[in-house]
Chain A
Amino acid sequence: MLPFTTLTGIAIPLLIDDINTDQITPAQARRSLHPDYHAAWFSRWRLDEAGNEIADCVLNAPQYRGAPILVTGRNFGCGSAREGAAWAMVARGIRCIVARSFSDFYRANCVQNGILPVTLDQVDMAALERAVTEASGTHPVTVDLEGQAVISPDGERFSFTMDPAERMMLLEGLDDIGLTMKHMSDITGWEQRTAEEQPWLQAIPKV
């Protein structure tokens, strides 16, 4: 996984609450063995029925093409647990999402893919939303994970807190399975103990 340290880039203001995974990547994308997540990204909002770009969609605005940061609303990524909704961000080069809040599933999928999910306190978030909207792609935002701060387009600095496990994983690009494999003897021990105490949990009749 690509480590995340500091990122400076244009932020897209997508100030809508409860953006769900059907909006981020419609379910149809999942029927393919190799889905085109670059194309699937917000396709219902970006594209009309014929597949042409909708001009007044903020995601199509020229100043936001290739922008690596998304600033968005409350309960972002609610709905499905589908990881394609995070892979679509990766496919589009989004490395950081600053939201009023995240759904639990979406937040976990972000961290697994090296996308930094940031939440600020309410007043700071409102100020960032204003600054990003006013900047309209002319000035960048900086996100510093080591210093746990966001620097808005007008230079104001907002600090944020983060779960230490998530922070460590992002900063070091850690391999989650590798971390757990160090506990293999604990896992085997648990299985042996449970096979004696609650054998029905460790052995299933074949059906």
Chain B
Amino acid sequence: MLGGAEIDVREMHRNMALTLFDKIWNDHLVAVRPDGRALVYMDRTMLDEVRAPHVFARIEQRGLAVRRPDLTFVVQDHSVATAPGRTETTRADSAEIILATRASSHRHGVRLFDLHDPEQGISHVIAPELGMVLPGGTHACADSHAATVGALGALAFGCGSTELEHILTTQTMALARPATMRLMLHGRLDPVVTAKDVILHVIGRLGVDGAAGHAVELAGPALTAIPVEGRFTLCNMCTELGARTALAAPDDAVFEWLHGRPMVPAGAAWDVALAGWRGLRSDDEARFDTEIDIDCTGLEPQVTWGTDPSQTIGISEAVPDLAAAPPGREAAWRRALAYAALPSGKPITGTPITRAFIGSCTNARLSDLQAAAAVIRGRKVAEGVQAVVVPGSMTVRRQAEALGLDQTFKAAGFEWHESGCAMCAGGSGARANPGERIMSTTNRNFEGRQGRDVRTHLASPAMVVAAAIAGRIVDVRHLVAGEA
């Protein structure tokens, strides 16, 4: 049975072939506990002010200590005010946690990116920006969008507060191994179509639990053609597929992007590290539990119409009716259509908006602000629209100012803020009034997230600027071409 033997050899080879996820997981596997949980070492941990005071207090109550303060970082991002000139007490209701975060971070000797720190920003923006997270490394962050940094070829996990206590005291996570999914992005993106449009389309196709229980590896020609900062957007919103984590194999673009950043190894250490990082890719024969192929050719700019990120359409399409709901999703769609208050069968373009928000861990890096500013071309925000830009970090803010982008935004009528999560989840107190409709570069359009009875439409930075200028949802491609 020669043929059978050959197949077995190939089978063996396949069994040895590893995915990128396997390689990093195996490299960081410390032990397997008697209950079956894998202890996976976390190279870097980050937490924010909505968790820090509570978690540090719990650790103190138990008489435990932060095991590696040198690998632990705290940031004030979720609840801080972002309007220029902010202080700890700009918002009376968050002053307490901001001050408690400062005190507890100092007590435990961890590096805090505090309110007035020149490096302050949104955790998922500053972690890669500083080179804190490296290819082949692991990262824990007490926030669901931790996987953003997976774009560098790192393995990142979000977690809750009790899991965070475990990480801070043991430097490991006790995990069940997730299933693996490869999400192949084929084809070529048209101009003005961005990573945001790709990931909204993917979520629309797979649904908000389409990657539940999975570690997602993004791959394919459309992925490698997307600049590194766009890949952060892709990995960031895999959370909205229900993914446990997301990552992409690092390539030369990633290595160039990282080189010279403050926390990245330098000199001879860089060369040694780089040699190892070049092996960070899934083996050709590696098997994934789930394989998904998406063709990005001809994809239009996307915009969401409903109350979850899967409820998305191309900008030339009409708001769907209930008949278009995926099987089993009819009830969710009925609720969403009622909340959205848009007529089914009518184009989404022309829908008036009252606010435009550019910000968040999804779309507030320098390239996002550049893409947004490029749409303005001397035009002004429409009357009756409040438009705000909140850079992802104070570093992004300085870089944008060096390029004069702040002047472009301000001249058009945008507010130019300091950094934080701001209106993404309303945690900073920035909320819209009942009945308002927002075009937003954020990641969640959940009912009430940006204010009671507020409707959120998710889109790319360019699409949000186009809507701000027109005062209604429009196809940015027409605006760029001067038609709208």
Could you list which residues of chain A lie within 8 angstroms of chain B, going by C-beta atoms? 16-18, 20, 22-23, 26-28, 30-33, 44, 49, 74-75, 78-83, 86, 101, 103-105, 108-109, 112-113, 163-165, 168-169, 174, 176-177, 179-184, 186-187, 190-191, 194, 198-207
Contacts of A199 in B (CB 8 A): 265, 269
Least distance between B233 CB and chain A CB atoms (Å) = 18
Contacts of B54 in A (CB 8 A): 33
A105 to B130, CA, bound (A): 27
Determine the residue in chain A with the shortest Cβ distance to B43.
A201
With contact pairs A164-B36, A198-B276 given, residues A32 and B96 touching in the complex (Cβ less than 8 Å) = yes
Least distance between B64 CB and chain A CB atoms (Å) = 7
Instruction: Scan residues 19-53 of chain B and give those whose CB is less than 8 A from a CB of chain A.
Output: 28, 30-31, 33-37, 39, 41, 43-44, 50, 53
With contact pairs A177-B165, A187-B39, A207-B263 given, residues A104 and B160 touching in the complex (Cβ less than 8 Å) = no
Give me 7 A-to-B residue pairs in the complex whose CB atoms sit less than 8 angstroms apart, sorted by A's number: A22-B444, A31-B79, A31-B93, A49-B434, A176-B174, A202-B43, A207-B130
Query: Do residues A180 and B331 form an inter-chain contact, with CB atoms below 8 A?
Result: no
Query: Do residues A81 and B50 form an inter-chain contact, with CB atoms below 8 A?
Result: no
Query: Do residues B134 and A180 form an inter-chain contact, with CB atoms below 8 A?
Result: no
**Residue among A28, A199, A203, A206 with the most chain B CB within 10 A?**
A28
Main secondary structure of the interface of B (DSSP, over half): loop
With an 8 Å Cβ cutoff, the count of chain B residues facing the other chain is 84
A194 to B71, CA, bound (A): 14
Contact of B35 among A108, A165, A186, A198 (CB under 8 A): A165
With contact pairs A164-B35, A180-B174, A186-B30 given, residues A204 and B161 touching in the complex (Cβ less than 8 Å) = no
Query: Do residues A190 and B41 form an inter-chain contact, with CB atoms below 8 A?
Result: yes
Contacts of B242 in A (CB 8 A): 75, 78, 103-104
Least distance between A21 CB and chain B CB atoms (Å) = 8
Query: Do residues B265 and A186 form an inter-chain contact, with CB atoms below 8 A?
Result: no
Query: Do residues A104 and B137 form an inter-chain contact, with CB atoms below 8 A?
Result: no
**Residue among B43, B209, B269 with the most chain A CB within 10 A?**
B209
Query: Do residues B134 and A201 form an inter-chain contact, with CB atoms below 8 A?
Result: yes
Q: What 0/1 readout, one digit per residue, does chain B (135-173) give for beta carbons within 8 Å of chain A?
A: 011000011101000000000001111110110011110
Determine the residue in chain B with the shortest Cβ distance to A184.
B170
Query: Do residues A180 and B33 form an inter-chain contact, with CB atoms below 8 A?
Result: yes
Residue B244 is within 8 A (CB to CB) of chain A in the complex: yes
Least distance between B335 CB and chain A CB atoms (Å) = 7
With contact pairs A33-B97, A207-B130 given, residues A186 and B269 touching in the complex (Cβ less than 8 Å) = no
With contact pairs A26-B448, A199-B269 given, residues A104 and B37 touching in the complex (Cβ less than 8 Å) = no
Least distance between A26 CB and chain B CB atoms (Å) = 7
Contacts of B34 in A (CB 8 A): 179
Least distance between A77 CB and chain B CB atoms (Å) = 10
Contact of A28 among B35, B96, B166, B426 (CB under 8 A): B426
Contacts of B169 in A (CB 8 A): 177
A82 to B54, CA, bound (A): 12
Determine the residue in chain A with the shortest Cβ distance to B59.
A177
A168 to B36, CA, bound (A): 10
Contact of B212 among A49, A101, A177 (CB under 8 A): A101
Query: Do residues A82 and B160 form an inter-chain contact, with CB atoms below 8 A?
Result: yes
Contacts of B71 in A (CB 8 A): 202, 204
Q: Which 10 A-B pairs have the closest CB atoms?
A: A83-B160, A112-B162, A165-B35, A200-B265, A186-B31, A81-B144, A109-B160, A83-B161, A75-B209, A31-B94
